[in-house]
């Protein structure tokens, strides 16, 4: 819904000032209109375009002819609570009372008339014979294809149910062979091919890196461990 709110101001300058204040507060500029023309035809057209209520048109036209200006606001959803913002803002300005007129009311949103592709064609996508008139047949039979097709259950996107990978990869995707512990044929470990010694040793662990015991390296040179 859109709320049409209109007020009469002493002159165009004061109406423009109030409109600029509403735009500053978030009301779109396209929704703020100032009517101040002295031309009768343009004045009537501007009031119709602004959706001014019929009860206010005569009083507004008389006020504009006297040098006043009419500010019309179309308060929509932008910003939120736009109608409340407009009413509170306009209440702070000195406006002119033109009598008992409708200056605040709701109008439904949407176009006044639905657009039409063809003026006298019943339906756009139908066959209309020239002599027999409209028969209500769909246009698709004229192109030779059906509207609906029976759905078939498929497990593959390829015709015949094949897998795409088999078209360029001849080997099976999955193998049933027993899993190996080594990637080398025969189960050998890769390290044994260049390292002849065993990877693990069963000898007793020594407390010293010096062969033959756990004495410090300094004693082998005859030095006392502590000076």
Q: CB–CB of 70/11 below 8 Å?
A: no
The answer to whether position 79 is within a domain reads yes
Decide if 148 is inside a domain.
no
**Number of structural domains in the chain:** 1
Q: Which range among 45-49, 130-134, 211-215, 218-222 shows the weakest confidence by mean pLDDT?
A: 130-134
pLDDT per residue as tens digits for the range 11-60: 999 999 999 999 999 999 999 999 999 999 999 999 999 999 999 999 99
Record the pTM.
0.50
Condensed to tens digits (0 to 9), the pLDDT of residues 174-191 reads: 777 777 766 666 655 666
Q: Evaluate whether residue 89 is within a structural domain.
A: yes
For 103-155, what is each residue's pLDDT tens digit?
A: 999 998 766 555 566 556 555 555 555 544 545 566 666 666 677 777 777 76
Residue 208 binned pLDDT confidence (cut-offs 50, 70, 90): low
In a domain, 151, yes or no: no
Determine, yes or no, domain membership for 140: no
Q: Which residues contact 140 (CB under 8 A, 6 or more apart)?
A: 146, 147
The domain containing residue 98 runs over which residues? 2-107
What is the strand order of the sheet 69-75 is part of?
32-35, 69-75, 2-9, 104-107
Question: Is residue 71 assigned to a domain?
Answer: yes
Domain assignment present for 188:
no
Residue 84 lies in a domain: yes
């Amino acid at each position: 819904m859109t709320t049409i709110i209109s007020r009469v101001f002493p002159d165009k300058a004061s109406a423009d000032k109030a409109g600029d204040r509403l735009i500053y507060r978030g009301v779109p500029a396209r929704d703020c209109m100032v009517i101040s023309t002295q031309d009768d035809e343009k004045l009537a057209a501007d009031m119709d375009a602004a959706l001014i209520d019929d009860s206010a048109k005569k009083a507004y036209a008389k006020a504009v002819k006297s040098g006043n200006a009419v500010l019309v606001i179309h308060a929509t959803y932008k910003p939120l609570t736009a109608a409340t913002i407009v009413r509170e803002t306009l209440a702070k300005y000195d406006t002119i009372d033109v009598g008992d007129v409708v200056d605040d009311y709701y109008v439904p949103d949407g176009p006044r008339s639905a657009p039409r592709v063809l003026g006298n064609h019943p339906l756009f996508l139908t066959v209309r014979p020239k002599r027999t008139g409209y028969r209500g047949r769909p246009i698709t039979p004229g192109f030779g294809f059906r509207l609906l097709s029976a759905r078939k259950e498929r497990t593959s996107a390829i015709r015949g149910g094949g897998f795409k990978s088999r078209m360029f990869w001849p080997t099976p995707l999955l193998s049933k062979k027993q899993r190996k512990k080594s990637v080398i044929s025969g189960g050998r470990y890769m390290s044994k091919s260049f390292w002849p010694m065993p990877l693990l040793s069963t000898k007793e662990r020594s407390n010293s890196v010096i062969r033959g015991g756990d004495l410090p390296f300094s004693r082998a040179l005859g030095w006392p461990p502590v000076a």
